[in-house]
Amino acid sequence: MIKKPIISLLGITTVLGQNVLKAADIAKPFGKTGEDVTRTNGVTKLYRFKQGFTVVDAATSAVKQLLFGKELHTSEIRGIFGSSNFTSATLMPTFTSTVAHKAGLRDVVSDHIGLGCAGGMQAFRNLFNQMVVDASRGRYGYYLLVTGDEVRHIINPQDYNTNIFFSEGACAALFSNFPDERGAAYTVETVATKCLLDDAYNMISIVNPLVARDGAVPYMVMNNREVCKFGLEVMKNIEQLLFDEQVFDLHRHYFIPHQANLRLLQKMMETGKFDANRFYTEGIETVGNLLNSSVFFGLRDVISSGWHELGNTPVALGAFGAEKQVGVAVLHPVNPENLLV
């Protein structure tokens, strides 16, 4: 019988935009109040990068902080996997390869995948699968996951519905596939994603600026009706994906879903099988919707807020977003405090 490889999560660093927009600041251009924004989606403030500081800068800073905190050299990294909806100056080279270069990585696997709020989980899936394959061949080392967005460039400044949700930030997470890893915060049991393709697969869309016609601007467009329908059904799809991965005792897990908006999170809490006392909703209120980085920011926030005192509580991450992508990851605690760098 082949021994299952051990994939360990060692640490997470996060960087938020430096400029803070309070709910009242967000609402004012639309003739609304801060209370209107908070009542609609739970947001109290959003974060934006300062002028001249990009998502690449943020992710590079997160990677460097992480490697320094874990006392690792760039030469010890075997691969970097990432996702971003907007890479500032270029479509190619990608966000992931640009961050890798600026962080000083050389001769590594560099894999950029996914768009939308589930993109980070798609990148995590690829990272996990690569680490399992490498371990099965006796190849051990450290791997990075990077996510982030500079979302203001793809939001129509005149569209209230998209201006009141999204923050800017970046995240870096460090993993190892050493069988005797001693610095683990969590071990990763599984990572899985699926796409719920149907006629509304394009419920969130962005035109390609290189082939745009009739003066079309590459702003994100949301079909609110279909987005809402997808959101109301997403909990059962997350649970089904976990069941498919043979994770059944959901009430035991601390659940960190994508922080889409507070109303949806409350609906998910009411209809799902997770314990309401172990259901993370604080992120949308404190930092807003961080797109592909949302669940990773949430995990770090949970640990830094003291939830590590729950001891042997496993964690489930649930992401969902554009192209009707749904993703899950299940983590088992080893020493959760190691997550903080």
* Residue 278 clears pLDDT 90, i.e. is over it: yes
DSSP string computed for 172-235: EEEEE--TT-SS-SEEEEEEEEEE--STTTTSEE---TTT--TT-----EE-HHHHHHHHHHHH
Calculate ∠ Cα 276-306-337, nearest 5°: 120
Dist. CA 174–CA 12, nearest whole Å:
7
Other CB atoms within 10 A of residue 226 CB: 17
Dist. CA 153–CA 167, nearest whole Å:
12
pLDDT one-digit tens code per residue, 54-89? 999 999 999 999 999 999 999 999 999 999 987 667
Residue % of the chain over a pLDDT of 70: 98
Q: How many residues are given for the chain? A: 341
User: Sorting pLDDT into bands at 50, 70 and 90, what band is 247?
Assistant: very high
pLDDT one-digit tens code per residue, 85-110? 876 678 889 999 999 999 999 999 99
The reported pLDDT for the residue numbered 272 is 95
- Domain architecture of the chain: domains with CATH: 1-341 (3.40.47.10)
Buried b (16+ CB within 10 A) or exposed e, 5-43: bbbbbbbbbbbbbeeebebbebbeeeebebebbbebbbb
pTM over cut 0.75: yes
